[in-house]
Amino acid sequence: MTVHQFNTGRDDELAVRPADCGLGHACQFCPKEPECTLDKPHHEKRLLELRLAQIGQIILVMANKGGVGKSTVSANLAAGLAARGFRVGVADADIHGPNQSRFFNQVGQRVRVSERGLDTLSCFGDRLPHPVQVGSLAFMMERDDTPIVWRDAYKHDFMHHLIGSFDWGPLDFLVVDMPPGTGNELITLSDLLEQQAVAAVIATTPQQVALMDSLKAIRFCQERGLPLLGVVENMAGVTCPHCGGEFQLFPRAHLAEALAEHRVASLASIPLSPLLAMASDSGAPVTMDQPESPEARAFAPVVDACIEHARQESRQAASEELQALVTANAEELEALLSDVPEEDRAQARRDLEALLAGEHDRLNPERNDDR
Ligand code: SF4
């Protein structure tokens, strides 16, 4: 590496930073890669920082077991958030079964690489206030039926590409459809997103075997300090299309007791329904396509929980920023107070403190409820 590859950092005048090409795609997709002498790890790091700085709340939709409808929950959560007016992306991290392309009616589409990065596919822009942006490995494969046979190092790289190389643009929510289990992909993403506003939702089904596996995912969140919004029970009962009677298809485990024991909220019970199956196949999530259906209404508490969590996080961040601002400007505030006539100074100080306390209370209403 030569000296001309460094320029002075903007924040710290004494810092030297590697120069960057400013391109929005990873080096792996770059035609200049063979002859490029820039610091490539720095470029990849900068890409991630750039993308993450534009994303508000990240929601990991997890399941410790395959086949419990995690992708259905991800797609309907994303579409439900978008239907409420938020800018939403769906990152399909399920490397061995990337099927968000089907849920958003994009099967067969392929991604383009531009200087801004890998293009996400914009979905339902004609039906939603903002189109849902979908990024998936499915858009990067030559054929849809190609099996993925990757060692962990490739999976690790793909997780970085998924967040850093796709041109997500500004988003209020990024919903990540995680692969089943608590393996490499989850650990890589959890490490990558450590400083971000990130929370998890766990999808499960009523059977004992699924519940046992879900408890592992719950423990993963608790041990990693990953905020867990709650559990979505999928395939929770069937309504007979002839008589309207409800019955359970699977033997029910003691989900409610297990969640209470682990202090985890039950967010929603989603029925096993032909409508959901058809919506998944036709690529139109019910939360967008049929918002008044019982199935869409069943998803509403999950959407509400994500919005409420994001609002709390944002208020907390604003409150911390305000506190940091006051601390950083303490000397200036004292200087301003010293300009106030002595007889009024104590009152001015009390007014200022009351103003700041009021602002903190406004930003942290739940903290006030605890008092
Ligand atoms: S190889 Fe990487 S660092 Fe070099 S120009 Fe291409 S994207 Fe930029």
pLDDT digits 0-9 by tens, 310-368: 999 888 888 888 888 888 888 888 888 888 888 888 888 888 888 888 877 777 665 55
Would you say residue 200 lies in a domain? yes
Alpha carbons within 13 A on the beta-carbon side of 367:
13
Alpha carbons within 13 A on the beta-carbon side of 95:
21
Euclidean distance between CA atoms 166 and 122, whole angstroms: 12
**46 CA distance to ligand 1 middle (Å):** 12
**Are residues 34 and 59 located together in one domain of the fold?**
no
Q: Is the CB of 23 under 6 A from ligand 1?
A: yes
pLDDT digits 0-9 by tens, 342-358: 888 888 888 888 888 88
Residue 30 Cα: closest atom of ligand 1: 6
> Which of 38, 39, 114 has most ligand 1 atoms within 8 Å of its beta carbon, as the pocket-test mutant?
38
**Are residues 232 and 260 located together in one domain of the fold?**
yes
| Strand 228-233 versus strand 266-269 pairing type | parallel
**Are residues 150 and 212 located together in one domain of the fold?**
yes
> Which of 17, 28, 32 has most ligand 1 atoms within 8 Å of its beta carbon, as the pocket-test mutant?
32
pLDDT digits 0-9 by tens, 289-318: 999 999 999 999 999 999 999 999 888 888
User: So what's the pLDDT on residue 1?
Assistant: 36
Would you say residue 295 lies in a domain? yes
Asked if residue 249 has pLDDT above 70, the reply is yes
Residue 26 Cα: closest atom of ligand 1: 7
Alpha carbons within 13 A on the beta-carbon side of 362:
8
- Compute, in degrees rounded to 10, the torsion defined by CA atoms 279, 284, 286, 291: -140
> Which of 17, 23, 25, 165 has most ligand 1 atoms within 8 Å of its beta carbon, as the pocket-test mutant?
23
Would you say residue 164 lies in a domain? yes
> Which of 28, 29, 40 has most ligand 1 atoms within 8 Å of its beta carbon, as the pocket-test mutant?
40
User: So what's the pLDDT on residue 181?
Assistant: 80
**Are residues 31 and 169 located together in one domain of the fold?**
no
User: So what's the pLDDT on residue 8?
Assistant: 37
Euclidean distance between CA atoms 27 and 258, whole angstroms: 46
Stated pTM of the model: 0.84
User: So what's the pLDDT on residue 176?
Assistant: 96
User: So what's the pLDDT on residue 18?
Assistant: 64
**321 CA distance to ligand 1 middle (Å):** 35
**Are residues 115 and 7 located together in one domain of the fold?**
no
**Are residues 136 and 226 located together in one domain of the fold?**
yes
CATH number reported for the structural domain that contains residue 268 in this entry? 3.40.50.300
Would you say residue 316 lies in a domain? no
Q: How many domains does the chain fold into?
A: 3
Q: Is the CB of 318 under 6 A from ligand 1?
A: no
Would you say residue 310 lies in a domain? no
Would you say residue 20 lies in a domain? yes
User: So what's the pLDDT on residue 219?
Assistant: 92
Q: Is the CB of 45 under 6 A from ligand 1?
A: no
The average pLDDT across 93-108 equals 90
Asked if residue 15 has pLDDT above 70, the reply is no
**Are residues 16 and 118 located together in one domain of the fold?**
no
**Are residues 168 and 140 located together in one domain of the fold?**
yes
pLDDT digits 0-9 by tens, 218-236: 999 999 999 999 999 988 8
Would you say residue 85 lies in a domain? yes
Contact partners, residue 276, CB within 8 Å, separation at least 6 = 72, 270, 286, 295
Q: With bands split at pLDDT 50, 70 and 90, how would you rate the model's confidence at 143?
A: confident
Asked if residue 7 has pLDDT above 50, the reply is no
Asked if residue 240 has pLDDT above 90, the reply is no
**Are residues 140 and 27 located together in one domain of the fold?**
no
Asked if residue 26 has pLDDT above 80, the reply is yes
Q: With bands split at pLDDT 50, 70 and 90, how would you rate the model's confidence at 253?
A: low
The average pLDDT across 42-69 equals 90
User: So what's the pLDDT on residue 2?
Assistant: 36
Question: In this structure, which residue's CA is closest to atom 7 in ligand 1?
Answer: 27
User: So what's the pLDDT on residue 12?
Assistant: 53
**Are residues 26 and 138 located together in one domain of the fold?**
no
Host domain of residue 362: 329-370
Question: In this structure, which residue's CA is closest to atom 8 in ligand 1?
Answer: 21
**Are residues 196 and 262 located together in one domain of the fold?**
yes
pLDDT digits 0-9 by tens, 57-100: 999 999 877 878 899 999 999 999 999 999 999 999 988 888 89
User: So what's the pLDDT on residue 280?
Assistant: 84
Would you say residue 12 lies in a domain? yes
**Are residues 263 and 241 located together in one domain of the fold?**
yes
